[in-house]
Amino acid sequence: MGNGVREGQVDFKRQDVEPATSTHLPSEGVQEQKKVLNSLMSGALAGAVAKTAVAPLDRTKIMFQVSSKRFSAKEAYRLIYRTYLNEGFWSLWRGNSATMVRVIPYAAIQFCAHEEYKQLLGSYYGFQGKALTPFPRFIAGSLAGTTAAMLTYPLDMVRARMAVTPKEMYSNIVHVFIRISREEGLKTLYRGFTPTILGVIPYAGLSFFTYETLKKLHADHSGKSQPSPPERLLFGACAGLIGQSASYPLDVVRRRMQTAGVMGHTYSSILLTMQEIIREEGLIRGLYKGLSMNWVKGPIAVGISFTTFDLTQILLRKLQHSTNVER
């Protein structure tokens, strides 16, 4: 009889423990997977919407960056208008397909990586579940941008080539890869990689830092946990303005190196490229050519990107929550 009681107690304890080990751990893993997937999807959509919105301005900026023509708002308007008259309305989005092929994985990786780096740095610095302090906030953004740029760089190279060449030269994205590989070598696909990384560190770092900081200041002073969509757009615009202004000269150098093969130039290094640009066009007119257009395009694109990401994240969380409640 005593043995029977002990066996019953053992069985009861076994039944009490087993469900906890079988259900608790997988649910954490599933939640983490959903979180990563949400970040990837939200980031991809954010990048696609933002870049498509400013594609004509982006193409015009690249065409000025890679030429020795002097930039002005009037000349930019003339270029857009001539392109429209000679090649049609949709030619203003030429190269946007290559942009989408690049920007969708780039934005998805960047936003997802940023969320993961924030979590890692939060654990490291002891801010788990709280807003990071300024320095880790900047580091998280820089690491996210660097990770995305390293994984998607050849697509950026292809997009730049398509933006500055006529349709007859490159018919599609695959054709660009084939011709560059055959005529200039595979190494050409990574030409301009160093200035890209050097530019991404301050650009992504300052962009994410500024946006996250403005959201935190808003929460502290307004008492609201989340800003409204117009406020998000404004915070993103400020982030884009600061980030792009800080890294712009390296963006010009990157474009020159990427398009050297089709523009009749030879650029062997960042410093030599900078020296040649300054010698031929001057410091401000050369390295900051098109910056005023970027002050229009950049804030719009970054504002749309951050806002789309945040709102998509919120929507996906609500959908998942309602699905779980129904179950």
Any idea what DSSP says for residue 267?
-
**To the nearest whole number, what is the mean pLDDT of the chain?**
83
The structure's pTM equals: 0.75
pLDDT(25) > 60: no
Q: 197 exposed, middle or buried (CB, 10 Å; 0-12, 13-18, 19+)?
A: middle
pLDDT tens across 56-100, in order?
888 887 777 777 777 777 888 888 888 888 888 887 887 787 778
Q: Are 206 and 242 in contact (CB under 8 A)?
A: yes
pLDDT(185) > 60: yes
CA–CA gap between residue 154 and residue 181 (Å, rounded):
11
pLDDT tens across 197-254, in order?
999 999 999 999 999 999 999 999 998 888 999 999 999 999 999 998 989 998 888 8
- Point out the least confidently predicted range of 44-48, 90-94, 273-277: 90-94
Q: Are 151 and 200 in contact (CB under 8 A)?
A: no
pLDDT(305) > 90: yes
